[in-house]
Structure 1
Amino acid sequence: GDSGLTPQNASAADKFAVREALEALTLMLAPFTPHVAEEMWAGLDDAGGILQSGARWPRADAELAKRETLEIPVQVNGKLRARISATPDTAEADLRAAALADEKVRAHTDGREIVKVIIVPQRLVNIVVR
């Protein structure tokens, strides 16, 4: 479908984001397809070539890549039984409590002895029952 966003009605922030993305793409293509990258650079109305511009290789911002919530699988005896949502800094005790409180997990643990709860932070909760 039509998103309705055209260059005429795009905000300054939208235009900046698109330009920044195109410049980064062009710079990353340059080592593999230098001629195409130079043509793209010229199409961005940047004077001179890529090398003459002094443009730097794009840098990733680790802050932007951080996840605010994680979906952590909960296993009972190695079989996936549920998924819980948690923040990356959730304490192991809280992960354990959330996993044991989940209704799907309780269906597989009620009336059985919990031998061990294995927690791999930000990755997995495995409950071993007998």
Structure 2
Amino acid sequence: MIERAEADAAARRWIARYVTAWNSNDEADIRSLFTDDARYRYEPWSPLIEGSDAIVASWLERRDDPGTFTFEGDVAGIDGRTFFYSGVTRYDSGTVYSNLWVVALADGLERAESFTEWWMDQAEKSGD
């Protein structure tokens, strides 16, 4: 069984590495985040991207230019090897997204075996 403090520390290390990869767009940085057979979704309803090669290729096709955004947030919850992260991304263009990530870490707690993101454009008001 994984201790909560250990899982929280692993989640925070993984997020720091994710932000590094997001800023660098370096293939090795991206690949180090995911197991070889990882599953990645940009939205829960989007097509599944399977395997680290496909994840790296997709990431690089959709990459953000370094220095054009800021990102902040915190771990919102932990359930064993799965963590939930709530964040806000602010782009220089003025677009602001709220993000919720669900990430399942592999046994070593260093790489993700699955990643699903929910993102919401804060300019899109619901219920209006």
> TM class, shorter-chain normalised?
under 0.3
Which has a greater percent of strand? 2
Larger radius of gyration: 1
Which has a greater percent of helix? 1
Normalising by structure 1, what TM-score?
0.26
Q: Which structure would you say has the larger RCO, counting Cα contacts within 8 Å and 6 or more residues apart?
A: 2
Normalising by structure 2, what TM-score?
0.26
